[in-house]
């Protein structure tokens, strides 16, 4: 029970609690009115917050719906012999799960046991670290997260190019910003060095008043593109060509920072890169990208003649063909223009949960982009500390040594979110053991052997872990549990620690070895204890975080210091494989050439992804307040294209990719490029045929082929800019 709620009191005690929303990573501070310690009666943005100033979005304001949804799971479920899911205590469920995992490890080795942490548990500040520590504890490399079906190239490109320890220029004092396929006004997501989703409308207005010039690359006039000084309405999947042409403009006009490049780029690489981008002329890029040559040139000049500010990319182009190359070229623009923090600068974002108050102004040398454990498929390797989710279906389906046989899904929804839906369903059905931690009976949970009901975000303590690297100020916040429902629900870490305790698995964290045995006593660890262990090497100790809620630490910024005297690492802007891939791109007709058999005559449209304000991936459409906005993930299409199909708003469109078919509900949108259709991902349930598309939407991931056209480094399939053809179909609505 809450300390300041007297359980003996009569009804109608309304208590206002400050916390922050964790539906997405943005961590907007909210005030919640709670009646009788357990019932949320109001949620509003906290206007007193110095950074957010009351900003929230429609999803956060629906927290009460999520909390009190009658379908919300409030205890664990176990698949019975009859095949139905039946209630079981969390404790009994953990006993059985731990025993079955131990048995699978005995029979098949630790690699056979995998976990996948999705968005739902990413926003739990200890979710990913606990899963990782658990895997290390029993020697299993099979740790997976949504990162590797999101934008893994942010990591791989930075590794093969090299990176700057003190980071790219901040947004806060930038005079130019190049935003390639992201939209923080809706997603609250911004590339490193770009506008973040922290009160984004105000922050953008402030930046423009300061003189910021904004360049946006997006096939749709997104909410961010609508604010741009230059908007390049690129054909989906052609960003590598566009960026190569911009680099060509910069290098051939000597607009780059020659002094910086002389000191920090591998000798000879500028010349090699200049030669490789020479064929990407303005006219060529203009034709291929569907953008005026003069606009591409103006964007390149605008970016290069700025003094501060960086380029960065989001999900759209990362999920399109050649994602790692695209990200490499975006970062290369930053290198060429010397857009790095220098001694005397400070970092804008807090990094309060990381060790160290200083960063050196020097290059972290290039290294292999995927240095992790080998996959058994497609010649892929994992990242340093996790494997590639886009290869997990294959790891489950492919027989032989190392086959994955047990999967613990923590706050994720593979059936809807993973690329190649049919394969995902086949893989999940193949598992010996599927455990899902989710408060909803999702399409994935329907296939599970056990479903664990998690504590909701308001029932657990957290720090804004994702935003600690992204906030536009050195800001800290801390959330306590503000509700205790008394339900049999577990924090994600309790699931991992509970299994570890039963199987004798050590959990080693920066703060030391977690005494997991406490879980089996009547004095188990608390959230705060575990947060202390996970962030045990933070530059601002967690005791200080707890004391500093909604505080901007103006005097406590990470400072940039001089390079080590012997630092001699340099950026590799033209390694052999980048030059090779650039030549391959130049030899294509369109990016879709990397997928077999999808010539333009057969697949004339490109389907792109987009986020919706009222949904968070697969979450939202089931909640009454959000359902009111829409019950389907509309297929947004230009009115000209819609008319050419003989269709009108609300008609059903059959959308066919080389891999499969989905059905979408047409919605005319003049802001989208002709020849493009935009749909949010992760809608639709378990059905593979979309007969209920108007009520539940349809999953674009069924259209995705996980074997053909995948990124050569990250293995990421083409999940945006998917070649498709469209046809109006008649239904009997």
Q: x/- contact string, 122-161, with ligand MGD (CB under 6 A)? A: --x---------------------x--xx-----------
d(CA 94, CA 86): 15
Q: What are phi and psi of 350, to 5 degrees?
A: -65, -50
Q: x/- contact string, 320-339, with ligand MGD (CB under 6 A)? A: x-------------------
d(CA 507, CA 321): 39
CB 533 within 8 A of CB 512: yes
**Would you count residue 24 as binding ligand SF4 (CB under 6 A)?**
yes
Nearer to ligand MGD, 227 or 362 (CB): 227
316's contact among ligand MGD, ligand SF4, Mo ion, none, with CB below 5 to 8 A by partner kind, is: ligand MGD
Hunting for tokens 């339900």 — which residue is that?
A: 487
Task: Report the 3 state secondary structure along 103-158.
Answer: HHHHHHCHHHEEEEECHHHHCCCCHHHHHHHHHHHCCCCCEEEHHHHCCCHHHHHH
Environment class of 96 (CB within 10 Å of its CB; exposed 0-12, middle 13-18, buried 19+): middle
| Closest residue to ligand SF4: CB criterion | 60
d(CA 376, CA 108): 15
Which residues 25-44 are close enough to bind ligand SF4 by CB under 6 A?
26-28
Nearer to ligand SF4, 47 or 210 (CB): 47
**Would you count residue 185 as binding ligand SF4 (CB under 6 A)?**
no
**Would you count residue 449 as binding Mo ion (CB under 5 A)?**
no
Nearer to ligand SF4, 187 or 424 (CB): 187
Cα Rg, the chain, nearest whole Å: 25
Environment class of 632 (CB within 10 Å of its CB; exposed 0-12, middle 13-18, buried 19+): buried
CB 662 within 8 A of CB 702: yes
**Would you count residue 353 as binding ligand SF4 (CB under 6 A)?**
no
**Would you count residue 323 as binding ligand SF4 (CB under 6 A)?**
no
454's contact among ligand MGD, Mo ion, ligand SF4, none, with CB below 5 to 8 A by partner kind, is: ligand MGD
**Would you count residue 467 as binding ligand SF4 (CB under 6 A)?**
no
**Would you count residue 627 as binding ligand MGD (CB under 6 A)?**
no
**Would you count residue 51 as binding ligand SF4 (CB under 6 A)?**
no
CB 199 within 8 A of CB 184: no
Q: How far apart are the first and last CA of the chain?
A: 49
The 3-state DSSP composition of the chain as helix, strand, coil percent (nearest 5) reads 35, 20, 50
**Would you count residue 711 as binding Mo ion (CB under 5 A)?**
no
| Contact range with ligand SF4 by CB under 6 A, out of 20-28, 207-215, 500-508, 525-533 | 20-28
Task: Report the 3 state secondary structure along 541-606.
Answer: CHHHHHHCCCEECCCCCCEEECCCCCCCCCECCCCHHHHHHHHHHHHCCCHHHHCCCCCCCCCCEE
Nearer to ligand SF4, 124 or 163 (CB): 124
| Contact range with Mo ion by CB under 5 A, out of 85-93, 147-155, 482-490, 568-576 | 147-155
| Contact range with ligand MGD by CB under 6 A, out of 84-92, 102-110, 634-642, 677-685 | 677-685
Task: Choose which of 338, 366, 411, 723 interacts with ligand MGD (CB under 6 A).
Answer: 411
The pair of structure tokens assigned to 574 is 């033209």
Nearer to Mo ion, 306 or 419 (CB): 419
Q: What are phi and psi of 86, to 5 degrees?
A: -125, 150
**Would you count residue 150 as binding Mo ion (CB under 5 A)?**
yes
Which residues 479-508 are close enough to bind ligand MGD by CB under 6 A?
492
Task: Choose which of 17, 19, 23, 244 interacts with ligand SF4 (CB under 6 A).
Answer: 23
- Contact residues toward ligand SF4 (CB under 6 A) are 21, 23-24, 26-28, 56-57, 59-60, 188, 197
């Amino acid at each position: 029970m809450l300390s300041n709620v007297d359980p003996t009191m009569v009804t109608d005690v309304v208590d206002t609690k400050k916390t922050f929303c964790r539906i997405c990573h943005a961590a907007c501070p909210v005030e919640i009115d709670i009646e009788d310690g357990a019932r949320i009666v109001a949620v509003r943005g906290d206007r007193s917050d110095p950074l957010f100033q009351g900003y929230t979005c429609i999803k956060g304001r629906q927290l009460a719906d999520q909390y009190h949804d009658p379908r919300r799971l409030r205890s664990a479920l176990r698949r019975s012999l009859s095949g139905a899911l039946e209630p079981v205590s969390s404790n009994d469920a953990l006993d059985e799960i731990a025993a079955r995992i131990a048995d699978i490890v005995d029979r098949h080795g630790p690699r056979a046991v995998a976990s996948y942490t999705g968005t739902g548990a990413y926003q739990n500040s200890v979710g990913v670290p606990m899963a990782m520590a658990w895997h290390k504890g029993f020697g299993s490399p099979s740790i997976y997260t949504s990162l590797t079906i999101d934008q893994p190239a942010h990591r791989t490109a930075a590794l093969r190019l090299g990176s700057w320890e003190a980071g790219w220029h901040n947004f806060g004092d930038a005079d130019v910003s190049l935003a390639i396929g992201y939209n923080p006004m809706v997603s609250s997501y911004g590339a490193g060095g770009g506008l973040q989703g922290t009160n984004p409308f105000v922050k953008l207005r402030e930046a423009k008043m300061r003189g910021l010039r904004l360049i946006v690359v997006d096939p749709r006039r997104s909410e961010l593109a609508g604010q741009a000084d230059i908007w390049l309405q690129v054909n989906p999947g052609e960003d590598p060509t566009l960026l190569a042409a911009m680099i060509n403009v910069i290098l051939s006009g000597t607009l780059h920072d020659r002094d910086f490049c002389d000191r920090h780029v591998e000798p000879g690489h500028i010349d090699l890169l200049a030669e490789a981008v020479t064929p990407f002329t303005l006219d060529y890029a203009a034709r291929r990208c569907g953008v005026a040559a003069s606009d591409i040139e103006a964007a390149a000049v605008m970016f290069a003649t700025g003094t501060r500010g960086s380029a960065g990319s989001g999900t759209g182009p990362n999920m399109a063909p050649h994602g790692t190359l695209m990200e490499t070229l975006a970062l290369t623009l930053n290198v060429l223009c010397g857009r790095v923090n220098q001694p005397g600068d400070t970092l804008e974002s807090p990094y309060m949960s990381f060790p160290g108050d200083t960063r050196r102004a020097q290059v972290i040398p290039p290294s292999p982009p995927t240095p992790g454990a080998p996959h058994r498929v497609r010649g892929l390797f994992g990242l340093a500390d996790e494997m590639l989710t886009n290869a997990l279906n294959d790891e489950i389906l492919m027989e032989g040594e190392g086959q994955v046989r047990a999967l613990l899904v923590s706050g994720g929804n593979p059936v809807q979110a993973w690329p190649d839906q049919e394969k995902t369903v086949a893989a999940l059905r193949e598992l010996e053991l599927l455990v899902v931690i989710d408060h909803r009976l999702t399409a994935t949970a329907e296939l599970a052997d056990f479903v664990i009901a998690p504590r909701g975000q308001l029932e657990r303590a957290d720090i804004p872990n994702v935003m600690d690297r992204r906030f536009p100020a050195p800001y800290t916040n801390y959330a306590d549990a503000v509700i205790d429902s008394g339900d049999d629900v577990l924090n994600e870490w309790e699931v991992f620690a509970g299994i570890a305790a039963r199987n004798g698995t050590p959990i080693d964290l920066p703060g030391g070895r977690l005494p997991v045995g406490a879980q089996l006593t009547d004095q188990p660890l608390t959230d705060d204890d575990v947060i202390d262990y996970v962030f045990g090497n933070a530059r601002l100790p967690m005791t200080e975080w707890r004391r500093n809620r909604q505080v901007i630490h103006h005097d406590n910024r990470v400072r940039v210091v001089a390079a080590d005297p012997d630092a001699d690492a340099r950026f590799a802007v033209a390694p052999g494989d980048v030059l090779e891939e650039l030549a391959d791109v130049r030899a294509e007709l369109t990016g879709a050439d990397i997928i077999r058999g999808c010539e333009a005559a057969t697949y004339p449209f490109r389907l792109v992804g987009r986020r919706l304000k009222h949904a968070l991936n697969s979450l939202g459409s089931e909640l009454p307040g959000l359902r009111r906005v829409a019950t389907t993930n509309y297929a947004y299409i230009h009115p000209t294209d819609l008319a050419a199909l003989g269709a009108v708003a609300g008609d059903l469109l059959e959308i066919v990719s080389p891999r499969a078919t989905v059905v979408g509900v047409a919605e005319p949108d003049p802001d989208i490029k002709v020849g493009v259709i935009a749909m949010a991902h992760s809608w639709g349930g378990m059905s593979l045929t979309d007969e209920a598309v108007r009520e539940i939407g349809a999953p674009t991931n069924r259209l995705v082929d996980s074997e053909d056209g995948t990124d050569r480094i990250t293995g990421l399939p083409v999940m945006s800019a998917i070649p498709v053809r469209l046809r109006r179909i008649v239904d009997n609505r």
